[in-house]
């Protein structure tokens, strides 16, 4: 099982859950130290017979990284039976006023790398009648003024995943989109609102719970998994809310976040 964005948050907990299930693992992220610590932790699980997870420290936003990952796995003689595309990040702020390079890097990671890895390993997945899990977000269901590029990138992930699911279905490959709501991980700190999600803590699921839900949905062959009642209700409300009201509400939330960041 190849897992990207495995150094923390949902990705790390997906790796832990898969490790407990006995999967052979290859872990990809930028942070080598965190990956090594996670690989050592998994290797020590009682009763585990699979080898220590393979650690691949790459920044998948770099254009050459997906090919390098594929080459290293080929050299190791590994065939990918399960691919988990979890790597991604977001940024808070107006698109016109935010750092352009950072936003384009977000597209490179959230969209291009996910797509390229899905395509590069599609032959392996077909040969193994494997499984693909793409981590999207509740953000996939709405436009996101204040985080425009991030929300749009997750809409792409959901649409791409659902379409790919149908295309690969005749080959015995299942493709699943995981669409969590807010989760207390390192994501918020990188996005620029690390200390700003107190008001929704009551509704948050833990990274462990989201990871378990995603793993179980993937293994069951579900097309879309929306973990948590609050997230399901949110998506239901989005579906019936007038678009102008939805835009106003999302913009107000992101503006409040931006203001609170400025106070920190």
Measured CA to CA, the distance from residue 256 to residue 235 in angstroms comes to 21
| Beta strand 131-135 pairing with 2-4 | unpaired
* Residue 150: alpha-carbon gap to chain centroid: 12
Beta-carbon contacts of 75 under 8 Å, excluding residues fewer than 6 positions away, are: none
Measured CA to CA, the distance from residue 163 to residue 114 in angstroms comes to 14
Measured CA to CA, the distance from residue 249 to residue 238 in angstroms comes to 11
In degrees and rounded to multiples of 5, residue 5 shows phi and psi of 60, 40
Q: How many CB atoms lie within 10 A of CB 57?
A: 15
State whether residue 83 is helix, strand or coil. Answer: strand
Q: How many CB atoms lie within 10 A of CB 263?
A: 7
Q: How many CB atoms lie within 10 A of CB 232?
A: 14
Q: What angle do CA 98, 101, 106 make, to 5 degrees?
A: 85
Nearest to 106 by CA among 121, 118, 119, 92: 92
- What are the residue numbers of the active site? 150
Kindly compute the dihedral angle of the four CA atoms of residues 227, 107, 55, 213, in this order, to the nearest 10 degrees: 10
């Amino acid at each position: 099982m190849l897992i990207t964005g495995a150094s923390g948050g949902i990705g790390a907990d997906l790796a832990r859950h898969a490790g407990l299930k006995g999967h052979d693992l290859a872990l990809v992220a930028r942070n080598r130290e965190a990956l090594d610590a996670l690989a050592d932790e998994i290797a020590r699980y009682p009763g585990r017979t699979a080898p220590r997870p393979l650690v691949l420290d790459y920044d998948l936003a770099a254009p050459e990284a997906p090919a390098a990952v594929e080459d290293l796995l080929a050299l190791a003689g590994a065939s990918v039976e399960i691919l988990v595309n979890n790597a991604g990040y977001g940024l808070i702020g107006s698109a016109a006023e935010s750092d352009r390079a950072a936003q384009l890097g977000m597209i490179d990671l959230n969209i291009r790398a996910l797509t390229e890895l899905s395509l590069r390993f599609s032959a392996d997945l077909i040969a193994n009648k494997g499984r693909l899990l793409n981590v999207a977000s509740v953000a996939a269901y709405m436009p996101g003024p204040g985080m425009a590029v991030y929300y749009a990138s997750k809409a792409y992930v959901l649409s791409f995943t659902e379409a790919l699911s149908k295309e690969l279905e005749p080959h015995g490959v299942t493709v699943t989109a995981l669409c969590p709501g807010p989760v207390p991980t390192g994501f918020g700190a990188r996005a620029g609102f690390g200390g700003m999600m107190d008001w929704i803590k009551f509704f948050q699921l833990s990274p462990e719970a989201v990871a378990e839900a995603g793993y179980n949905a993937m293994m069951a062959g579900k097309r879309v998994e929306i973990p948590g009642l609050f997230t399901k209700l949110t998506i239901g409300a989005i579906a019936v809310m007038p678009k102008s009201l939805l835009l106003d509400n999302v913009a107000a939330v992101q503006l409040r976040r931006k203001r609170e960041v400025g106070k920190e």
